[in-house]
A and B are shown apart, each in its own frame.
Chain A
Amino acid sequence: MLKRPRFTFKIMICILAVFFVPLSSGICSEEYDYINIAEPFTHKIPVAIPVFKALSEGSTQERVAQKSADMMQEALAYTGYFKMIDRGAFLVEPAEQEIVTDKIDFGSWTDIGAELLITGGVRMEAGVLQMEFRLFDPFRQEMLLGKRYTGKPENQRSMVLRFCGEVIKRLTGKAGLFKSRIAFVGSAGDSGTSGNGGKAVYVCDFDGKNIKQVTESQDIVVSPAWGRENRFLAYTAYSDSHPNIYITDLDSGETSRFAAYKGINITPQWVPGSSGLAATLSFEGDEDIYLLTDTGKIDKRLTKSWGVDVSPTFSPDGEKMAFVSNRSGSPQLYVMDMKSGSIRRLTYEGEYNTQPEWSPVEDKIVYSGMKKGRTDIYVIDVGTGEISRLTRDGGNNEAPSWSPDGSMIVFSSTRNGPSRLFVMTASGTDQRMLLEMPGQQKLPDWSSPAGK
């Protein structure tokens, strides 16, 4: 019903088109002792990634080799697990470097403290790009991982990111975040008085690259949420002068109106293991959370308390729902057991706790908490109630969202003035701006592990 700028996510298809061949079969895959799971970001693993080797003649190969090595450095450094050793410190000359186990002088890498070494070779023949990457432990003089990728030259980034994903899987046992994407609301101008229009939902890669506008620009757009194979985005917009929930199919670019009940239709969230969504509606005169079918029909009213109940978020198994309620007088987080319907209050600290998101990997909830008029990001352990504060002393920090592997958090911050998107590790380290674009960006949502 609404025309949207059409675009296709060729990357996903391309990734499928790229095939890989394992270079070694004797890898013991159960050793994850490189990354300390408890404190993964305090001791960063020093990694050496020399410029990849051109395996065939031609200047194109050399350019691709250089660019791929930089890309891999950037992508792996982004995770917060690693410290990239400056190439100027390398003892091996680029021209003399070897990329296979029996030829590598591991001593020259251990001497500079490289705990991990990644080598790569690039071959370009008849318009086909072939890249091979190897991950070594120089101290053990052992190859941990080897992959060869073949595909079109434009698939260079997806090949590099795919190997990065393998590296993370090899080191942590979990799939990385390199295939994930982030949706957010971008606005053209400064948020002033009415008529600050030009807001739209945008989508970018995990690292802020490949920014695309996926909905029409309009006056008000809020809370985009990923769902169903990370192909659909649900959000609230005032396209029909009313806060209704719309769903945009990112593959086809089509948008349909999902829920348009009297009053507000806000904070949609897909329920794990179900095709339905939970959302806050007010058609009965009170803002409550309802379960909706995949066609937007009312399935069940979940909360019945008078006052605001908003922002549902689910545990990965779908058995528990956290949400915001002001039933106690101020907005606080509550947890509902979906089977029994029993509700308990989770947060007691602070007078204004909102925007919860349940970790995709553990029983922790990240949320925005306001203290003395300043909003910051906190994480609460659902079991113990233990709280850790992740941001401080820098504007308002809001709308946190976990990466699908639970290792990072994206959020919005006004620390530099206008609202911008930032990322940090799950422990709050390595805070940096995700992307630069004009206007303001807010309400980011990181895509789900396998699509809820």
Chain B
Amino acid sequence: MIKKFNIKFILACILVLSFAFVVSCAKKTPEPQATSAEQQTEMAEKEKAAEAEKKQRQLEEQEEEISEQELEARKKAEAKAKKEAAEAKDQFLSEKVYFEFDDSSLTAEARDVLRRKAEWLRNNPEACVIIEGHCDERGTDEYNLALGSRRAESVKEFLVKAGVNASQLTTISYGEEKPAVKGHNEEAWAKNRRAEFRFCN
């Protein structure tokens, strides 16, 4: 886009300059030796008009150049803001909250993550979010479903206390049914004891 605009601009400049050149050449045509005052006046007027036209054209060109630049800057700023918003949204979605085994209380790390999430939610009051509570494979299915619910609820409580509108938030528990990673060791379990976020619909 930017390159295209530059080429157009250069072409326009060349056009204007060549026109100006033609005009100035015309000015230099040999004058008849004897000219009447009337003729001289007429010539002067024509020259004036040409000069004015030239100035006007230059002005127009300049004005055009400025508006192009403004547009560029605005577009860049918009793109940047969009990118930042998308990044913030991505971060909001991708950042998970992790828990200790058989525990629904929030760790210091979890609180940090949730503070960022609360900020995003406050800035995006139209966003409708589902908080998913998950457990690792240890323990029993039914209790883990309830524990997953407890985890999602404690996340919700924290966000509401941090100023998020409760109507933006719903909770769901998947217990141990949807592990994030496979594996039967502490590393896998730690990644599976989590709360995740997704948008409604």
Q: Which residues of A come within 8 Å of B, CB atoms?
A: 191-194, 219-220, 222-223, 236, 242-243, 262-264, 266-267, 280, 282, 285-287, 307-311, 324, 326, 330-331, 352, 354-355, 368, 370, 373, 375, 398-399, 442-443
Q: Establish whether residues B141 and A285, one from each chain, have CB atoms under 8 Å apart when the complex forms.
A: no
Q: A287-B149, A308-B146, A308-B150 are in contact. Are A243 and B141 (CB under 8 A)?
A: no
Known: A287-B149, A331-B102. A243 touches B143 (CB 8 A): no
Which stretch from B51-59, B64-72, B77-85, B176-184 is at the chain A interface? B176-184
A281 to chain B, nearest CB (A): 10
B145 CB contacts on chain A under 8 angstroms: 222, 236, 243, 264, 266, 310
Is the Cβ of B142 less than 8 Å from the Cβ of A354? Answer: yes
Q: CA A220 – CA B134 in complex, angstroms?
A: 13
Q: How long is the Cα–Cα vector from A264 to B133 in the complex, in angstroms? A: 11
Q: How far is the CA of A131 from the CA of B168 in the complex (A)?
A: 69
Nearest residue in A to B153 (C-beta to C-beta)? A285
A192 CA / B170 CA spacing, docked (Å) = 26
CB neighbours (8 Å) of A309 from chain B are: 146
Check A373–B141 contact: CB distance below 8 A: no
The answer to whether A287 touches B174 (Cβ under 8 A) is: no
Residues on B close to A: CB < 8 A? 102, 137-143, 145-147, 149-150, 153, 157, 170-175, 177-182
Contacts of B141 in A (CB 8 A): 222-223, 399, 442-443
Query: Across the interface, which residues of A come within 8 angstroms of B175, CB to CB?
Result: 222
Q: Which residues of A contact B146 (CB under 8 A)?
A: 264, 266, 280, 282, 287, 308-310
Determine if A311 and B153 form an interchain contact, defined as CB atoms under 8 angstroms apart: no
Per the bound structure, the CA–CA distance linking A365 and B67 in Å amounts to 82
Measured CA separation A311–B143 after assembly (Å): 8
A220/B174 contact (C-beta < 8 A), A266-B146, A308-B143 known:
yes
Task: Check B149 against A264 for contact (C-beta < 8 Å).
Answer: yes
Is A308 a contact of B147 with CB atoms below 8 Å? yes
A-B contacts besides A308-B149, A399-B140, A443-B141, 12 pairs, CB < 8 Å: A192-B179, A193-B179, A194-B179, A219-B177, A222-B145, A242-B172, A282-B149, A285-B157, A287-B150, A331-B143, A352-B102, A354-B140
Q: How far is the CB of B154 from chain A (nearest CB, A)?
A: 10
Name the B residues within 8 Å of A368 (CB-CB): 140
Closest CB-CB distance, B198 to chain A, in whole Å?
11
- Report how far A193 CA is from B192 CA in the complex, Å: 10
Cβ of A373 and Cβ of B138 under 8 Å apart? yes
A191 to B172, CA, bound (A): 20
B174 to chain A minimum Cβ distance, whole angstroms, is: 7
